[in-house]
Amino acid sequence: MTARLAGKVALVTGAASGMGAAIVRRFRAAGARVHAAGLQPELLTALARETGASAAPLDVVADDAVRALVDGIVRAQGRLDIVVNAAGIIHEDDGATIDDAVWQQTLDVNLGGAMRVCRAALPAMQRQRAGAIVNVASVAAFNGSAGMASYAASKAGLIAYTRTLANCYGADGIRANCLAPGWVRTPMSEMEMHAAGAARGIDVEAAFAALTERIALRRIGTAEEMAACALFLASDDAAFVTGAVLVADGGARTPASARAP
C-alpha cells in the first residue's frame, strides 16, 4: 500500500473494535501517525501494540476529556490533519417506545460526540489551513427501519452537521464528509443480529444470511472495506470532495434489491 497519509496526524474515535479499529489499521498502513481513542483500554492497548498507533481512553460525551486529548495531540505533534468520528452506540426503540434517557444518550454519543471532537479540532485545522473530517453515519439516516428511531435520528443529524462544517470551513481548507455504511460485520451488528435472530428463532449466522437477499452484492460488508472508504475521504485523493455522503451498503438501497423478498 502506498503511503497516502505519510506525515499526517490522525485521531480516530471508537477505535477499540469494529470499523474504528479497521480504520486505525488502514491509516497506519498508509503512513499516518494515528491516535486511537475509545472506551475499551485492553482492546486499545492491543491495537496500539499491533499497529504502532497511540492509544488513549476517551468518552466522547466528556467535553473536558475531548479537549484535553485534542490539545495534547496538537502540542505533541504540532498539528492535527485528520479526524474520524467512529464512536457510536445503538438501542432498539420506536416512536411510541422511546425512553428519554436512551434518546439523549444516543444523541449525546453519536451526534454530540462527533460535535465535541470537531469543535476541539477545528481551531488547529484552521491555523494550519488544512484538515479532513470523516464522520461515520449510517444508511439508517435515509431509511431507518423499525427499532431505529433514536439511532436513525442521530445519524441523520450527523449528516446535517457534517454538511454545515463543509460549508462553514471550506474556505479554511478543511473538508468534512460522511461515510454511511450499510450492513457491516462488526461487534455492534452481531449484537443486533443476535436480537433479531432470537426473535425469529434463528441464530446469528442465519440472520446475517437472510439480510444478503436484500443486498445487491448478496453479502455483508467488512470493516476493512469501510476503512478503505474512510481512507479515500481522508486522503488527498478526495481533495475536491466535501459535504458528501459516501454510501457503502453493497447496493442495499437500489430499487432492485428493495423489491427483494
pLDDT, greater one: 97 or 201: 97
The model's confidence at residue 257, banded by pLDDT at 50, 70 and 90, is very low
What are phi and psi for residue 94, nearest 5 degrees? Answer: -130, 175
CATH number for the domain spanning 140: value is: 3.40.50.720
Q: Is residue 33 part of a domain?
A: yes
Three-state DSSP class for 133? strand
Whole-angstrom distance, CA of residue 208 vs CA of residue 26 = 25
From 55, 72, 71, select the one nearest 16 (Cα to Cα): 55
User: CA separation (Å) from 44 to 16, 98, 112?
Assistant: 5, 32, 22
Mean pLDDT of 162-188: 94
Q: Is residue 213 part of a domain?
A: no
pLDDT value for 185:
82
pLDDT value for 260:
38
Q: Is residue 190 part of a domain?
A: no
User: Please, which contacts does 140-143 make with residues 24 or more away whose CB atoms are closer than 8 Å?
Assistant: 141/180, 142/180, 142/253, 143/253
What are phi and psi for residue 186, nearest 5 degrees? Answer: -140, 170
pLDDT value for 259:
40
Q: Is residue 209 part of a domain?
A: no
From 180, 184, 181, 251, select the one nearest 215 (Cα to Cα): 251
The model's confidence at residue 193, banded by pLDDT at 50, 70 and 90, is low
Q: What is the pLDDT of residues 221-241, one digit of tens each?
A: 999 999 999 999 999 999 999
pLDDT value for 70:
98
The model's confidence at residue 246, banded by pLDDT at 50, 70 and 90, is very high
The model's confidence at residue 189, banded by pLDDT at 50, 70 and 90, is confident
Q: What is the pLDDT of residues 13-32, one digit of tens each?
A: 999 999 999 999 999 999 99
The model's confidence at residue 81, banded by pLDDT at 50, 70 and 90, is very high
Q: Is residue 237 part of a domain?
A: yes
Q: Is residue 126 part of a domain?
A: yes
pTM, 2 dp: 0.92
Q: List the alpha helices (DSSP H) in the chain.
A: 18-29, 41-51, 63-77, 100-107, 113-128, 140-143, 149-169, 187-200, 204-211, 223-234, 255-258
Q: Is residue 99 part of a domain?
A: yes
Active site residues: 151
Q: DSSP assignment of 61-76, as one string?
A: T-HHHHHHHHHHHHHH
Over 80: is that where the pLDDT of 253 sits? no
Q: Is residue 243 part of a domain?
A: yes
Q: Nine-digit cell at 135?
A: 464522520
pLDDT value for 1:
52
Q: How many domains does the chain have?
A: 1
In this structure, are residues 134 and 181 in contact, taking their beta carbons and an 8 Å threshold? no
Q: What is the pLDDT of residues 83-97, one digit of tens each?
A: 999 999 999 899 998
Structural domain that includes position 86:
9-182+222-251
